[in-house]
Structure 1
């Protein structure tokens, strides 16, 4: 039997630092190991770091390439399957389509999503053909949300779990390990991450314990983040304990994971929740909300919040501080839980899905 020809856009060459770029890179690495699959990687136009009109031209160039060049090249190369990893629907059908579905935050929580992103994603979902298209959800939670919204047959949606590509390899540039214990948050500063309530919980924690702790926020400013910094300013006598670091490289982030007291991740909704997995790999206890996909990733290795509000986040923070041995227990369980996820498993599951549906 001839190999199954799978066409896809090599997003990791265009946007290597993004989550989609990372998924694409590992998609390529893992599926290239199979003899019954032939990958047809389509190299996109390079992304521009320019601003203004040049950025608009670059974006238009990519959209035109996606609509016309991708179908043409796929047909010329004889693709049996086309896999789209960026929730974009091709101009017309030229092979069996598979779409990666990461989350439905724009549907579940439209109030915290920019209108442009909302309109683009909803338009994509409306084009999904329940009889012809196949879909790959990155968690059971995402699969349930996708089925509920689109009404496509359950048999057309498979779950393929991701993994973290971050090595436990902290930066070694001579920086000193912080002597004051700190809680860590990792993620884009935007409403869905619930950072405002996290800050309020941290302030309450600081007022109830005698030891001094700090809070490090790692992540770029996203959108609608102003309320976070207003909340930080509400306690002038404590605000110096909160440090917004902004972007951190993988090695820098590994350093912060390695030396933190715990990860705080009280998100309102996640398609997967990668920081939980990254923290567990680094031997860092995790405090998280238990909604959407977060329980799928954390299992029984995470200390869950009672609610998304500040008092519900505060309780596990105090518990972890006050209970001897709890932190070591969570670290052990975290290592075990993290071992359930791998890029090899990701590739094996994808391969089975493609071959069974050929």
Structure 2
């Protein structure tokens, strides 16, 4: 096979594997067959890895070989590689969008902010088109030039682009680029049974690449920072040099993250119906680790006992959730006391935060738990699973239920309803939280002023943990 033919086939394969419309169509087609869907996801991921374009010297001419001139103002390169491809307006995408908007409006002093993205071929470009779009400008004729660096420039990957071309970053780092990645969680390393094999494979490769190339890591909670440090102690082969680790907290003001707008007449009618009785609100993609199935079991027990209460679920169908999705769609109480809003706008979500009775945060594991502080922002009481990160985020301003079974959750909900009726339930309005402006400043102080929480030392891996 000639080199020209290999390049042609690689380009054609890239066009198929990264076509978002084709990906969505295949996923919808395979959704009723979760086992087959998982195998296809694994195959697609391995094909992406096998077709990565190797970095040739001609592609590295973008790199500046000149030392910083006197008075040079370094670049802060903000990565949106995943967000530029697809923005699902939830989870990490919401965080990346909020941080970027804040930095665009208030650029960090002493730096020139540039939005960048990696393409499927492995090159890094200035993402002028995406920057213009998120800023409300329309200019499809913008040319996106390859990134040029000078020693002292900083690359911040706030996005989670699982097929990131780390070899490109390695070349840039060797020329003086400082690299920092945000790690939002290590769930793929802890919840094997709840996450698809393709995601676990991709995350493992992404984490390996990140730990190899990055100069520092910042996490979205102290709990995740501790998990990263502990994981490195248990896996010394993953990092041979010291690694500064920091953390920051996320922002609560949903309206600052460029929320999606619009509430239909049907949704307005639904909001009126929900106001007729107490409503528990769950926010997050429907997937096993979010605890929706257990929550539904608990609500069914309450309904059976005659408790007049609604359950509202806001979140699209996620992976490994076909059986639960079918259960929700066919439930006899659907649109009566059970409401699943798969395509709710942020505007509708804000109204639900404002008028519901409590947020039910039933996740078995999280990196942070953004809905907790968004609920607190609206004064919505929080009922949360008893896991460490929720205590870090909510402190004494949430009601915690045992991390056990649905019967315990049912009993806890009965107890909370009684406390609420007596005015004794914990008040989330007193929960401390940050705005996105404060969150962004906290992040920038860590990475630009070296305010690190801890530093992993390779020698730590040889120290046995203290006995409990």
Q: TM-score band (shorter)?
A: 0.7 to 0.9
1:302 alignment partner in structure 2: 398
Would you say 1:189 and 2:262 are equivalent positions? no
Per the TM alignment, residue 43 of structure 1 is displaced from its structure 2 partner at its CA by 5.4
Q: Tell me if structure 1 keeps the 8 A contact 2:166–2:210.
A: no
* SS of structure 2 residue aligned to 1:75: coil
Structure 2 residue corresponding to 1:353, chosen from 427, 442, 446 = 446
1:157 alignment partner in structure 2: 245
Structure 1 residue corresponding to 2:146, chosen from 51, 54, 73 = 73
Per the TM alignment, residue 171 of structure 1 is displaced from its structure 2 partner at its CA by 6.5
Per the TM alignment, residue 75 of structure 1 is displaced from its structure 2 partner at its CA by 3.2
Task: Give the 5 Å matches for 1:154-303.
Answer: 156-167=244-255, 175-176=268-269, 177-178=272-273, 179-208=276-305, 210-229=306-325, 241-303=337-399
Q: Tell me if structure 2 keeps the 8 A contact 1:2–1:36.
A: no
Per the TM alignment, residue 35 of structure 1 is displaced from its structure 2 partner at its CA by 2.3
1:35 alignment partner in structure 2: 109
2:456 alignment partner in structure 1: none
Count of aligned positions: 335
Cα 1:122–1:292 change in 2 (3 A) is farther
Per the TM alignment, residue 347 of structure 1 is displaced from its structure 2 partner at its CA by 2.2
Q: Tell me if structure 2 keeps the 8 A contact 1:281–1:335.
A: yes
In the aligned structure 1, how far is the partner of 2:253 from the partner of 2:346? 9
In the aligned structure 2, how far is the partner of 1:253 from the partner of 1:226? 24
Structure 1 residue corresponding to 2:225, chosen from 143, 163, 167 = 143
Structure 1 regions of 5+ residues with no counterpart? 45-61
Structure 2 regions of 5+ residues with no counterpart? 1-70, 127-144, 234-238, 452-468
1:91 alignment partner in structure 2: 167
2:79 alignment partner in structure 1: 9
Q: Residues 223-249 of structure 1: CA distance to partner in whole angstroms, max 9, x if unpaired?
A: 111342566599858995322221210
In the aligned structure 2, how far is the partner of 1:256 from the partner of 1:213? 15
Over the aligned positions, Cα root-mean-square deviation in angstroms equals 3.2
Q: Residues 247-275 of structure 1: CA distance to partner in whole angstroms, max 9, x if unpaired?
A: 21011111222222211111100011111
In the aligned structure 1, how far is the partner of 2:263 from the partner of 2:125? 43
Q: Tell me if structure 1 keeps the 8 A contact 2:217–2:243.
A: no
Q: What's the TM-score once normalised by structure 1's chain length?
A: 0.81
Task: Give the 5 Å matches for 1:43-54.
Answer: none
Per the TM alignment, residue 355 of structure 1 is displaced from its structure 2 partner at its CA by 2.7
Q: Residues 120-162 of structure 1: CA distance to partner in whole angstroms, max 9, x if unpaired?
A: 1101222344796211100111112222223357851100111
Larger radius of gyration: 2
Per the TM alignment, residue 211 of structure 1 is displaced from its structure 2 partner at its CA by 4.2
